Chains A and B, each alone.
Chain A
Amino acid sequence: MSEFQDNERDREQDPDVRNRILPEHRPLASDFEMERPIAIETKRLSLWYGNFQALFEVDLRVQQGLVTALIGPSGCGKSTLLRSINRINERLSYVRTGGVVEVLGKNVYDADVELTQLRRRVGMVFQRPNPLPISIRENVLFAFDLHEAGHDGASSTSKDDLVESVLKQVLLWNSVRDRLHANATQLSLEEQQKLCIARLLPLKPSVLLMDEPCSALDPEGTEAVEELIWRLRSEYTILMVTHNMAQARRASDETAFMLNGKLVEHTRTDRMFVTPEHQETADYIEGRFG
């Protein structure tokens, strides 16, 4: 069976995806009128690389269960902001952070925060798909095994079920079901990126951070991964950095625009792209600078 047909089958399993509701046409009332809890909140977040200040007192509130896109020109600090939420910035010894980053109401910079637990709850998807050089199945179970090792090891049948269910969630199961022991690096980039999302799910994260998750993919891969992101929303809070304004427009509920380390504007995506409040936002959206 060809890969194409496999993908088709994956999509058929889920009628929602087949008749995917495009953001422009989706019913807004249910999405926005109810007050959603805040999943991520930064308060006066500043960050320095050595002497260079990359973030200036950023106050960002990301609502739970939505896809929020972070846009802005290169070097505006959007990736830095993303990376300070799961504290992956920190391994660079010259990084200093000021302010507060709350995930589900808890400041992740508090002394009693265990980094491994934080990263378990806050998954990250990278720009370049980075599956580990082990089998597809091992990739899915890698983090799960690390974190569950202390408890009773799950039996291998329940692990099989887990692998199957998360691969189904990312619409990858049918195309890889017969090669779960093949090396993950042999997959196409699109499949790799889906796998990178799949391997986070067994940890039951509440937040998924995505750093330009589609920029290494071709248009078809981009569409497939966007579709997946859209499917995962509501169950997970997704904060996605993107360079691609069409993508922000297509695949996000809210958009935040950053410029020179500052948050300029943050509002509903449909509003941002039609009636931006700030001149800089309008200029950027219309491509007057990039």
Chain B
Amino acid sequence: MSESLFATTALDERNRKVERLYRRVFLTMTLLLILPVFLILTVLISRGASAWSLSFLFTSPENGMTAGGVFPALLGTIFLVAAALLFSVPLGIAAAIYLSEYASDNWLTRLINLAIINLAGVPSIVHALFGVGAFVLFFRFGTSILAASLTLAIMTLPVVIVSTRESLQAVPRAFREASWSMGATRWQTIRHIVLPNAVSGILTGVILEVSRTAGETAPIMFTGAAFFLPFLPQSVYDQTMALSLHLFVISTQVPGVPEDLPYGVALLLIAIVLAMNSLSIAFRMYLRSHKKW
């Protein structure tokens, strides 16, 4: 009887079946995950693409927002996001540098870290009410681009801090030690060694934040975004239209809107987000290929 030494046993057969089963379960879950994204995109493109045209992008809404374009809302979203990042990026990067490079591990640092995590978990409607209380009323900015973008900035801050801190900490410790041991100060080390190597991660985080911020509705609807404005904002103390709120308004508040218009706006919003994300991925790939260790 010359059974092979390595022949399959009954147990092996069973293990193989179980293996196959689990593989299929996980694959199905993954596919289910992609399905909604795919469906959303198909629906939006098939129903909304017909609304797109040059005048859709570059003219104002007309006839009680049942016709015309979305130019003021598009511009408003760009303003709001840009202004929000203007506040949150320098502040967030500075805080992340402090936490990652200077702070020692004591109760205060741990408290700050805890606060940041909690801040990231605050619902956006709560940020909105905070924005009303703090910026609109207390600082008397009124409902304005300034108040809305500050509210957005507070909301994006924890994410900027966390992603920046992670990028900083991904820079190997050995580089810092090498630099310190040659008599470089903390700042010289950060400036010459840490930041140049962390910048790709930091920028990727920021770009991803842009796409998230662009879609936020709640934080801006009480603080600075208007349903409809017949003119473009002249200063940061003016209100502005925004794509996300515009979508909400024409889908729920205005009668007689042609069916393809809201889909068109939604498609535009998604397109901005996807464009930003692809930019961030392309950027990351570019910088990774130039990474030096």
Contacts and interface: CB of A to CB of B under 8 A. Distances in A.
Interface of A: 86, 88, 91, 93, 115-120, 123-124, 126, 128, 130-134, 142-143, 146-147, 183, 185, 196, 199-200, 203
Contacts of B182: 119-120, 123, 142-143, 146, 199-200, 203
B185 interface: yes
B104 to A, nearest CB: 4
Given A93-B104, A93-B105, A126 B177 contact: yes
B183 A88 contact: no
Given A133-B197, A185-B293, A196 B178 contact: yes
Nearest to A145: B192
Nearest to A92: B104
Given A131-B178, A133-B292, A203 B197 contact: no
A31 B192 CA distance: 42
B184 interface: yes
Among B105, B106, B178, B182, the one with the most A-chain Cβ atoms within 10 Å of its Cβ is B182
A84 to B, nearest CB: 13
B180 interface: yes
Contacts of A142: 179, 182, 184, 192
A4 to B, nearest CB: 26
B178 A88 contact: no
Contact of B178 (A118, A132, A203): A132
A115 B188 CA distance: 14
A233 to B, nearest CB: 20
B174 interface: yes
A119 B181 contact: yes
A116 B183 contact: yes
A196 B182 CA distance: 10
B174 A128 contact: yes
Interface residues of B, number: 21
Contacts of B293: 133, 185
A88 B106 CA distance: 20
Contacts of A93: 104-106
Contacts of A132: 175, 178-179, 193
Contacts of B105: 93
A236 to B, nearest CB: 15
Contacts of A196: 178
Contacts of A146: 182-184, 188
Given A93-B106, A116-B185, A130 B178 contact: yes
Nearest to A139: B178
A142 B193 CA distance: 10
Contacts of B104: 93
Among A88, A142, A199, A200, the one with the most B-chain Cβ atoms within 10 Å of its Cβ is A142
Interface string B267-293: 000000000000000000000000011
Given A93-B104, A132-B175, A133-B197, A143 B184 contact: yes
A281 B169 CA distance: 41
Contacts of B179: 132, 142
Contacts of B180: 88, 91, 119
B174 A130 contact: yes
Given A93-B104, A134-B292, A88 B181 contact: yes
Interface in B33-48: none
Among A130, A134, A203, the one with the most B-chain Cβ atoms within 10 Å of its Cβ is A130
B185 to A, nearest CB: 6
Nearest to B292: A133
B183 A115 contact: yes
Closest 10 CB pairs of A and B: A133-B292, A143-B182, A119-B183, A130-B174, A116-B183, A124-B181, A93-B104, A120-B183, A130-B178, A133-B293
B106 A126 contact: no
